[in-house]
Amino acid sequence: MRWINIKPSRGAQFALMLVPFVLLIVAYAFGSAARLSENANDKLLPTLSGFVQAIERMAFIADQRTGEYPLWSDTWASLIRLFAGLGISTATALLTGMLIGMLPYLRALLAPFIAVVSMVPPLALLPILFIVMGLGETSKIALIVIGVAPTMIRDLALKALELPREQVVKAETLGGSSWQIALRVVLPQIVPRLIICLKLQLGPAWLFLIAAEAISSESGLGYRIFLVRRYLAMDVIFPYVVWITLLAVMTNYVLDRIRVAAFPWSELEKQG
């Protein structure tokens, strides 16, 4: 029996999945205990109970000045910006990527430009966006769009180009127009890839959002993290980072379920 042929059972998969997380928590608990034993006022590695108190303070106690619950108001502000940016990026990538993949003239016109734009570091454009668009929501959403849309366009264009040429020829033989081929042949096959591409861009999108909120914002998860860092409030920063990660994981899971439910054949193709 070769190791490459041995597969874990469902229970073993679940247990193996938990092992790194448990080890991380245990390592943190030991590290925190060691630092606090030397200095009881150490703020770098708070205790796990300190995290619970911070979460309770941020999530369930209203701010006396604004009357809002900081964690939920920050989450709402960040998610609006994130989903607005990803929504615009997804629509742009679907339309542009499909057209570049299908139309040779448009491919010759736009593909090199998109390739160059995708190489521009988006964070370097942030000062320009603030100058041109101001410090409001538009510049933050634009940063997400500029950061993720070019990569998504290139990926979808490549997927459209990879479709078997026989399918297009067969559709043409049956009298299909370019519009019908786009809707009936190309679109159904690149939408699952669009969802996968969107999942892969969740991490960069969060990165751009946090960076924009850290520099200029009065609400949002990134704003809060960089606000409390002045006071070395690690008991707030760590839970916020974990919360952002959980939001990304939940979004990733929902997108995956949508893909499997809407395009079950894409899951079979993936397994194959």
Please list the pLDDT of the chain residue by residue as tens digits (272 residues). 678 888 888 899 999 999 999 999 999 999 999 988 888 888 888 888 888 998 998 889 888 888 889 999 999 999 999 999 999 999 999 999 999 999 999 999 999 999 999 998 988 888 898 888 888 889 999 999 999 999 999 999 999 999 888 888 898 888 888 889 989 999 998 999 999 999 999 999 999 999 999 887 888 999 999 988 888 888 899 999 999 999 999 999 999 999 888 888 877 666 55
Is residue 69 left, alpha or beta, with left meaning phi > 0 and alpha meaning psi from -120 to 50? beta
Give the burial class of 80: count Cβ atoms within 10 A of its Cβ; 0-12 exposed, 13-18 middle, 19 or more buried: middle
Calpha distance 36→203 (Å, rounded): 33
* Domain definitions of the chain by residue range: 71-262
The pLDDT value recorded for residue 264 is 84
- Class of 71-262 in CATH: mainly alpha
Q: 0.95 exceeded by the pTM?
A: no
The pLDDT value recorded for residue 115 is 92
Calpha distance 235→154 (Å, rounded): 41
Calpha distance 208→178 (Å, rounded): 37
Report whether 60 contacts 69 (CB < 8 A): yes
Report whether 45 contacts 31 (CB < 8 A): yes
